[in-house]
Amino acid sequence: MNQIKNSGHKYFKIFFVIFIAFFILIFGSAIFFGTPIGQIPLGIVTLNKIYSQGTRSGQIVKFTEKGVVWKTLEGTLALTQSGAYIGEWNFSVDPKGPDRQKNVDLIYRAMDSGNIVKIDYVQIYGKLPWRGDTSYFVKNIEILGKGTLINLPE
């Protein structure tokens, strides 16, 4: 009877080792190749680790609340240099951020008036789907004034 217990324990150990190896293989390769399933464990580990921070300026051309399960606030800034359009930059507003409502109000005010804004942001290493689609999160917004974009894409 003791031999039967040991053989069951042996099979459990083998199953457990195979399960752990499979788990490491799947999530490890997902993290390495940057697939969405790999971003979740990476994002959990590095949830609040700041990768970079900076400032960008331009005109906000899109701001939306989107998501089926988690509603996130996403925006697009038309980057400018001396009034000329040089590209787009996507950003998110942190749903739990301390200045969330103030930033959202400033974004809508800038969009309504067509003003150029300066956005201070932080980029976190990794991203979580309930925080935003991007890894760039708005920390502060300053309305700079009126501006006209040249060569804005259709």
Summarised one tens digit per residue, pLDDT across range 37-89 is 555 555 555 566 788 899 999 999 999 998 888 888 999 999 877 777 889 99
Residue 52 DSSP symbol: E
Q: Are the C-beta atoms of residues 127 and 68 closer than 8 Å to each other?
A: no
Tell me the pairing of strands 115-124 and 72-81. Answer: unpaired
Task: Let me know if domain 49-146 sits in CATH 2.30.29.30.
Answer: no
* Of 20-24, 86-90, 108-112, minimum mean pLDDT range: 20-24
Both tokens assigned to 115? 């003003």
The average pLDDT across 117-138 equals 85
Pick 24 or 9 by higher pLDDT.
Answer: 24
Domain ranges (residues) in the chain: 2-44, 49-146
Q: Are the C-beta atoms of residues 125 and 51 closer than 8 Å to each other?
A: yes
- What is the H or E stretch that residue 30 is in? helix 2-33
Q: Say if residue 114's pLDDT is above 90.
A: no
Residue among 125, 17, 129, 18 nearest 68 (CA): 129
The pLDDT, as a whole number, for residue 105 is 93
The pLDDT, as a whole number, for residue 7 is 58
